[in-house]
Amino acid sequence: MEADIFVDAKGLSCPMPIVKAKKAIEGLESGQIMQLESTDKGSLNDFQSWVKRTNNELVKVEEDNDVFRFFVKKG
Amino acid sequence: MAGTLSVDQLHRKMSQDESVFILDVRNPEDYSEWKIEGHNVQSLNIPYFDFLDEDEALYKDLPKNTEIVVVCAKGGSSEMVADMLEEKGYQVKSLAEGMRGWSQLYVPVTISVDEHMKLVQFNRLAKGCLSYMVISEGSALVVDPGRNIEEYINVAKQENVKIAHIMDTHLHADHISGGIDLAKQTGATYYISSGEMQGSNESFEPLEKHRHVQFGAVDVEVLAMPTPGHTPGSTSFVINRKFLLSGDTIFVGGLGRPDLGGKAQEWALTLYETVFKKVADLPDDVLVLPTHYADIKEINERGYVGATLGEIRRSNEIMRTTDIRKFTERVVSAIGDTPPNYERIVGVNRGTEHVTDQEAMELEIGPNRCAVHHQ
């Protein structure tokens, strides 16, 4: 999937992955895609919950070798 | 920077009957599943990411004149939110280690003490898990120890006793037993029914060979009574004919779930036999001390979880449902969510699966789901 912005939050713990995601997505236009990578297990639940409350859309989540890759479409 | 509060400090605050205001900043799904509760605890859930927007409306329900304790999963987000609140003039502390820390808190409460024996209940508040220490003449028996074995070692040190016997009432499915580790650390004997440990390489004493365990003062009698139903090898311990350490067989508010082996009907029938044949012989004044509870309301005014058999017989209809068909129907239909990760937890407790400390912590995080109410 083509992303419009890439955010590396690997090695950071909560709340930083979401703090970074919020900052990055503010700079996008509606419909554009942010890709964020995190190694924090808690970020899986938090991303699902965060997108719901912010009207963004979690298009896809991939997991490989303990890295979570989130693709979020700006609402 | 806002200060932090340790889980011990929070518990002290809660037990001093101070009113406690908790702002839980985890996501709403996690909050509705599992949170800090107490008689005098008021809690409010606003996820930490909501605070990233400058929205004054968020603050309208937060008290200005009471200390707010901010709680999250591990203590990171709560610090961020606590700092934000402090800047706005609130009195605020962040709970160090968050719910992870809270899940490691064990509170010992003395249930009974006389010249021969002292009986202590350890309440792991976050999980609704209970374990016990029976102390007599310099030695101690521990029943159903949780994973954080230093809690028992510390109390044994304070009491100046040696832990000599460790017993698990059954193979636990919702939390990791500290039994084997505590036995290795202290040199104590570890007992569990061998039916529960099939395929295990760990060393243990089969409980079925030790119906009576002589222990401490000659007046302390420990009777291991098979009470199958929750699991086939479930065993209860009758101490001095006065206390029934019932494991997950009988709770203050109901009976153990019979479904975690995939044979709910069959195990429900053995639970029926246990309730109406074995336990039926015990008198009403025996104090039932279970391994779990489902609701903080079960903590009585003396600070422990327990009730006499008479009280339990009176307040639980299921204890009076002698019709075998109705009984099995009711215990099978009352089953709620299965404990998360229970198959892996069973594997760890049986010694067939090995995990790191970190993995163990993650496996058993969350509320207890073995205690089911049958009201």
Name the residue type at position B246. Answer: S
Q: Judge: B48–A18 Cβ closer than 8 Å, yes or no.
A: yes
Q: Which of B313, B267, B268 is nearest to B288 (CA)?
A: B313
Alpha-carbon distance values, B64 to A59, B68, B85, B88 (Å): 40, 9, 10, 10
The residue from B68, B72, B105, B287 that is catalytic is B72
Q: Give the pLDDT of residue B374.
A: 43
Inform me whether the pLDDT recorded for B16 exceeds 90.
no
pLDDT at B372 over 60: no
Contact call for A49 and B47, based on CB within 8 A: yes
Across the interface, of B30, B52, B74, the residue whose CB is closest to A19 is: B52
Distance CA(B23)–CA(B55), nearest Å, equals: 16
With residue B273 as reference, give the H or E element that holds it: helix B264-273
Window 59-118 of B: residues touching A by CB (8 A cutoff) are 72-74, 76-77, 80
What is the pLDDT, as a whole number, of residue B39? 85
Is A42 near chain B, with CB under 8 Å? Answer: yes
pLDDT tens digits, residue range B50-65? 999 888 899 999 999 9
DSSP secondary structure code for residue A58 in this structure: E
| B129 classed as catalytic | no
- Cβ contact, residue pair B49, A14, below 8 Å: no
Reading the block at residue B363, the tokens are: 């496996």
Count the alpha carbons within 13 Å of B164 in the hemisphere toward its beta carbon.
14
DSSP three-state, residue B232 = coil
Q: Determine, for residues B49 and A42 on separate chains, whether the beta-carbon distance falls below 8 Å.
A: no
Asked whether the beta carbons of B290 and B250 are under 8 A apart, the reply is yes
Are β-strands B92-95 and B287-290 bridged in parallel, bridged antiparallel, or unpaired? unpaired
Q: In chain B, which residues have their Cβ closer than 8 Å to the Cβ of A38? A: none
Task: Render pLDDT for B281-303 as a digit per residue (tens, 0 to 9).
Answer: 899 999 999 999 988 888 998 99
B29 neighbourhood in chain A, CB within 8 Å: 45, 48-49
| Residue A49 sits at the chain B interface (C-beta within 8 Å) | yes
Residues 6+ away with beta carbon under 8 Å from A71: A1, A3, A33, A34, A35, A58, A59, A60, A61
β-sheet bridge partners, residue B247:
B290
> Which of B107-116, B251-260, B323-332, B342-351 has the lowest average pLDDT?
B251-260
Look at strands B118-124 and B129-136 and give their pairing. antiparallel
Contacts of B77 in chain A (CB under 8 A): 14-15
Nearest to A70 by CA among A22, B362, B33: A22
Is 60 exceeded by the pLDDT of residue B174? yes
User: Do residue A15 and residue B74 have CB atoms under 8 angstroms apart?
Assistant: no
Segment B44-49 long-range contacts (CB within 8 Å, at least 24 positions apart): B47/A46, B47/A49, B47/A50, B47/A53, B48/A15, B48/A18, B48/B72, B48/B77, B48/B78, B48/B80, B48/B81, B49/A15, B49/A18, B49/A22, B49/A46, B49/A49, B49/A50, B49/A53, B49/A54
B77/A22 touch (CB, cutoff 8 Å), yes or no: no
Tokens linked to B152: 């028992």
Return all residues near A52 (Cβ < 8 A) that are at least 6 apart: none
pLDDT at B172 over 50: yes
DSSP, collapsed to helix, strand or coil, labels residue B3 as: strand
Minimum Cα–Cα distance from B359: chain A residue: A41
Structure token digits, residue A15: 């709340």
d(C-alpha B244, C-alpha B238), whole Å: 5
**Contact: A49, B29; criterion CB under 8 Å:** yes
The torsion angles phi and psi of B250, rounded to 5 degrees, stand at -120, 130
Give the distance from residue A42's alpha carbon to the nearest chain B alpha carbon, in angstroms.
Answer: 8
> In which band, very low, low, confident or very high, does the pLDDT at B144 lie, cut at 50, 70 and 90?
very high
B327 or B151: which carries more pLDDT confidence?
B151
From CA B133, how far away is CA B155, in angstroms rounded?
Answer: 9
Task: Give the 3-state DSSP-derived string for B93-104, with helices as H, strands as E and coil as C.
Answer: EEECCHHHHHCC
Distance from C-alpha of B37 to C-alpha of B299, rounded to nearest angstrom: 12
CB B375 within 8 A of CB B132: no
pLDDT bucket at B370, cuts 50 / 70 / 90: low
CB contact B49 to A (< 8 Å): yes
Specify the pLDDT at position B180: 95
Q: Which pLDDT tens digit goes with each residue over A21-44? A: 999 999 999 999 999 999 998 899
Predicted confidence at residue B368, as pLDDT, reads 63
CA A40 to chain B, closest CA, distance in angstroms equals 11
With a threshold of 0.90, does the pTM exceed it? Answer: no
How much is the pLDDT for B266?
Answer: 83
For B316-326, b/e burial (b = at least 16 CB within 10 A) is: bebbebeeeee
pLDDT for the residue numbered B369: 61
